[in-house]
Structure 1
Amino acid sequence: MSNLMPGTLLIADPFLKDPNFARSVVLLCEHQEEQGSFGFVINKLYDQTLNDLVPDIIQPNIPVYFGGPVQLDTIHFVHELPHLIEGSMQLLPGIYWGGRFDQVVALMNSGQLDVRKIKFFIGYSGWSSGQLQAELKEKSWIVSEASPRLIFKEAEQEIWKSSLRSLGRDFAIMANFPIDPSLN
């Protein structure tokens, strides 16, 4: 699969050295040839929770993920709740991006929002026009399809390996490569 579109997963090659993206899985939310691409790293926990970052949230310990190194002063979210969150954009069946954040806060504080069906990110991953295509030619990324199960149910420390294993035997072998082969 090389067709980049919303809902595409970018799985980091095991040898990708960039510390922002080593063993990362990025959910692509937008891709336009002329304007570039952006998405969120879905498998790297951030060191603060949502109520640390947004004092209006009264529910404790809601995880936030490191969406990427761009605009670390912004919070984004993907979810499975379009019937509750106005302004959501469908990425794939069962996966939605964004919506009214004030509505999310109110629903969370009133206990009407299942936090297992929403994932929050600080920052995002962005590529200028042609940059992502160049990284794909360099084989920095393996392209796959997202699923709600992978994004919302899989433990973050297993997402990278599970994503590779889902692509078949050749990729499953890559899932077991050591982080630093020289230490083997």
Structure 2
Amino acid sequence: MSEKRKIEPKAGSLLISEPFLQDENFVRSVVLVCEHNENGSFGLVLNKLSILKLNELMDDVPLSGCEVYVGGPVEQNTLHFIYYGEKLTENSIELAKDLWWGGNFEDVLNKINLGILKTDLIRFFIGYSGWSIGQLDTEIDENTWIVSETVDSENIFTASPEELWKIILKNMGGEYQMLANYPIDPRLN
């Protein structure tokens, strides 16, 4: 494979796990980087569905069918969210065009209840993915992650969790299109 141009991760970029990564927390994962700075990195795995629904995690939440994703292996007692569209709450941070991270949870629930925000345009996550100072850069140097600067915000919410990894690699074009078809276990090919 040809030498890849190293892309530095930043808030709003995607980390796509290399096809041979066998860490059970990150096999075929796509991680949205929410923070990357001198203190470390924070992200959310976009394509790992949990077995829980939001109303099973929180009392008085009327969203009975709202799925929850596993944002990563760190602090799985925390709840995070991203949403697509216009900024709906003061503390939300824009990561990409029309892609927002966090904010006031009560405001967002209220917007859902009023029909201003559709549940298919928001994702809730338990836990997160975190890296200490320099750890993510080291993993990128070791070819654990492919970094994509391009985020198709709408794709995050419309693609199935099982297909998101492949779709993003295919959309990156070139040699990444070939990686999208790499078998999970090449011995079974």
**Could you tell me the TM-score, scaled by structure 1's length?**
0.94
Identity of aligned residues (%): 47
Greater shift, 129-138 or 164-173, is seen at: 164-173
Q: Is the 8 A contact 2:84 2:154 kept in 1?
A: no
Unaligned stretches of 5+ in structure 2?
Answer: 1-5
Matching residue within 152, 172, 178 for 1:173: 178
- Matched with 1:13 is 18
Q: Is the 8 A contact 1:72 1:123 kept in 2?
A: yes
Rounded to whole Å, the distance in 2 between the matches of 1:37 and 1:83 is 23
- Matched with 1:103 is 107
How many residues of Structure 1 are paired with residues of Structure 2 in the alignment? 183
Q: CA deviation at 1:81?
A: 4.3
Letter in 1 for 2:143: K
Q: Is 1:147 aligned with 2:152?
A: yes
* 1:133-172 deviations in Å (ceiling 9; x for gaps): 1100110000102121221122211110011111113111
Unaligned stretches of 5+ in structure 1?
Answer: none
Matching residue within 90, 93, 107 for 1:89: 93
* 1:12-70 deviations in Å (ceiling 9; x for gaps): 000001100010000000001x2000110001101101111112211211011110000
Task: Name the SS for the 1:182 alignment partner.
Answer: helix
Matching residue within 33, 46, 58 for 1:54: 58
**Could you tell me the TM-score, scaled by structure 2's length?**
0.91
Rounded to whole Å, the distance in 2 between the matches of 1:128 and 1:22 is 20
Q: Is the 8 A contact 1:13 1:139 kept in 2?
A: yes
Q: Is 1:124 aligned with 2:128?
A: yes
Q: CA deviation at 1:128?
A: 0.4
